[in-house]
């Protein structure tokens, strides 16, 4: 059951998306032994799905200062301004780096052609055809393949190896043969991406189960701003396939059942290019007012209309969206609108890290969507997430490498003792779920959890709904003891990985609810019906949550307001 091979790295990166690859490439410049560990093949990482674009000042009338101001205002002033400055100042360098790797951004002549996304004063979202995430991933992966970085695919991380608040690596499950495999490392970087699969209506894929956050939390790291869950306003009704913000950037209208561009009531200046939190709440409000369309199978929706746009614009700039409409709904956007509804899309909260991507566990770092610096605050602007992965992926790789150089002797005795403890714990878990006297399956609890989160931790919340969710999730945690895996053959056991993923998602669901109950105001994506006003006097701070023997320990941390003073968001 335990792999006898010893895998050792100076820097171990968990996750093979944009943040993971950026981290590994940066680390490889300073360290000889760098490893990437991924539970899926690299080109199945969730970063591949990013089709909207990536933000960077690229000339014209735009400026670094404008990018900074838009990001802070878009965050509803909860972003740490010192972190945002690092993001926006490093963005142009990362674009140049990507072009050197071969990424081809959309241009007119030799000038990059940016789009204006929601919450932006100027056009700064760059695209690479219709597949920005895929294009960047392709180029980064080519660099990985031509480096000395070791790559292990098909390994599910079970837990971190931590003693005395110091990380010695991880324990992983080889998904091909169900062998427990320790990976020792002087430093470990978590770049495991999002955790939206705990919602029913999500644009995230089934692999987005929050493994990195959950194992960091169990190991003693703090999580931050977990109450902030972003809903993208335009996903296809029923399937929740994302219709990228690029659709509205090119001029698509959102319409209610009276044919009105209803956003004139909620964001009269920006209309369809208001930030995502504002548009999502506006859609929910229109539904409550009885101004939605109704689908016999899926219920309320709004229309996203392209029919007023010239056909050549659609065929040239929105071909991918037209293809999605034709393939999934048999709708041709040239002549018919799409049926859309908000869906969970992004998590602003994550593992608390400093500007060098350090967690509060020695030797443990985090970058990308699983981390929280915070550059997005209470609401992320579209196009900023890919850039965050690159900028802070690079920073985390360099930071981890420099730290690893300060460790002259790795303590294998402690590491091996931790492995034995993990093996014993794993055996007990396996024995429990293979020999349970009950016969509850994983899918039952997963379904209930997703219903609870979708119903009670969605765009609008209140104490009653959140408290109900807390009680129901607590019952599901108890039911985990009744799970039985019917496949006694542990060789290539998919159910086994699903069990650990469900355990992680339940923990994170409870944390989201706990943080949402704590924040008694409305800010960005966190809208409390019982506290509908932003309260800067009491709640202009981050909420940290840490695991203790008795449960959750909540505390606060001040927001960095070094440059920009508070204002009312006005779009």
Task: List C-alpha distances in Å: 297 to 233, 508, 543, 549.
Answer: 20, 31, 39, 46
User: From CA 55, how far away is CA 566, in angstroms rounded?
Assistant: 23
276 is a catalytic site residue: yes
Distance of alpha carbon 129 from the chain centroid? 23
Which residue in 505, 532, 511 sits closest to 446, CA to CA? Answer: 505
How long a stretch of residues is the chain? 571
Q: Which two three-digit tokens encode residue 455? A: 């119903």
User: From CA 73, how far away is CA 346, in angstroms rounded?
Assistant: 18
Task: List C-alpha distances in Å: 100 to 104, 139, 244.
Answer: 9, 10, 27
Out of 124, 248, 276, 519, pick the active-site residue. 276
Q: Which two three-digit tokens encode residue 391? A: 């900028």
H-helix or E-strand containing 366? strand 364-366
DSSP string covering 317-350: HSHHHHHHHHHHH---TTTSPEEEEEEEEEE--E
Task: List C-alpha distances in Å: 301 to 240, 286, 346.
Answer: 12, 10, 21
Q: Which two three-digit tokens encode residue 8? A: 């050792």
H-helix or E-strand containing 236? strand 229-236
Neighbour count for residue 11 (Cβ, 10 Å): 32
- The residue written with tokens 């979708």 in the block is 454
DSSP string covering 167-218: EEEEEEEETTT--EEEEEEEEEEE-----GGGSSSBSS-TT---HHHHHHHH
| Contact of 106 with 113, CB cutoff 8 Å | yes
Q: Where are the beta strands (DSSP E) in 242-363?
A: 253-255, 293-295, 299-305, 338-347, 350-352
| Contact of 326 with 268, CB cutoff 8 Å | no
The catalytic residue positions are 276
């Amino acid at each position: 059951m335990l792999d006898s091979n010893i895998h050792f790295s100076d820097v171990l990166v968990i996750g093979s998306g944009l943040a993971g690859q950026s981290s590994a490439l940066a680390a490889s410049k300073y360290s000889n032994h760098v490893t990437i560990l991924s539970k899926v093949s690299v080109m199945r990482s969730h970063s591949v799905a990013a089709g909207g674009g990536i933000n960077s000042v690229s000339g014209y009338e735009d400026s670094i200062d404008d990018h900074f101001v838009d990001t802070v205002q878009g965050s509803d002033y909860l972003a740490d301004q010192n972190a945002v400055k690092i993001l926006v100042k490093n963005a142009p360098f990362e674009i140049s780096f990507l072009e050197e790797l071969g990424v081809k951004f959309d241009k007119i002549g030799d000038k990059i052609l940016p789009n204006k996304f929601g919450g932006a004063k100027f056009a700064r979202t760059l695209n690479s055809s219709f597949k920005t995430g895929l294009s960047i991933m392709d180029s980064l992966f080519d660099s990985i393949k031509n480096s000395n970085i070791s790559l292990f695919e098909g390994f599910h991380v079970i837990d971190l190896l931590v003693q005395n608040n110091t990380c010695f690596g991880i324990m992983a499950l080889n998904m091909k043969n169900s062998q427990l495999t320790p990976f020792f490392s002087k430093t470990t970087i978590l770049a495991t991406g999002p955790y939206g699969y705990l919602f029913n209506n999500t644009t995230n894929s089934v692999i987005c189960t929050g493994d990195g956050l959950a194992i960091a939390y169990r190991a003693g790291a703090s999580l931050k701003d977990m109450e902030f869950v972003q809903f993208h306003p335009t996903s296809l009704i029923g399937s929740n396939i994302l219709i990228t913000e690029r659709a509205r950037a090119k001029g698509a209208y959102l319409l209610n059942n009276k044919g009105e561009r209803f956003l004139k009531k909620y964001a009269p200046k920006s209309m369809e290019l208001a930030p995502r939190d504002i548009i999502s709440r506006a859609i929910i409000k229109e539904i409550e007012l009885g101004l939605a369309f109704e689908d016999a199978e899926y219920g309320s929706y709004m229309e996203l209309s392209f029919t007023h746009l010239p056909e050549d614009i659609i065929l040239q700039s929105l071909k991918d969206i037209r293809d999605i409409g034709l393939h999934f709904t048999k709708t041709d956007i040239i002549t018919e609108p799409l049926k859309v509804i908000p869906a969970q899309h992004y998590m602003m909260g994550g593992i608390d890290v400093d500007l060098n991507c350090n967690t509060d566990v020695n030797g443990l770092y985090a970058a990308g969507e699983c981390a929280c610096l915070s550059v997005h605050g209470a609401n992320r602007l579209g196009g900023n997430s890919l850039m965050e992965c690159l900028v802070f992926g690079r920073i985390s790789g360099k930071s981890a490498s420099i730290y690893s150089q300060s460790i002259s002797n790795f303590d294998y005795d402690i590491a091996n003792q931790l492995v034995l403890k993990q093996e014993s714990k794993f055996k007990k878990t396996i024995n429990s779920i293979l020999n349970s006297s009950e016969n509850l399956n994983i899918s039952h609890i997963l379904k209930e959890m997703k219903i609870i989160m979708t119903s009670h931790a969605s765009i609008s919340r209140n104490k009653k709904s959140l408290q109900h969710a807390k009680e129901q999730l607590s019952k599901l945690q108890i039911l985990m003891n009744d799970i039985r895996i019917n496949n006694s053959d542990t060789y290539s056991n998919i159910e086994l990985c699903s069990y650990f993923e469900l355990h992680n998602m339940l923990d994170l669901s409870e944390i989201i609810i706990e943080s949402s109950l704590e924040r008694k105001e409305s800010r960005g994506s966190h809208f409390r019906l019982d506290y509908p006003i932003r309260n800067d006097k009491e709640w202009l701070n981050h909420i940290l949550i840490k695991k203790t023997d008795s449960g959750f320990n909540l505390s606060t941390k001040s927001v960095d307001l070094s440059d920009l003073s508070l204002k009312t968001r006005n779009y």
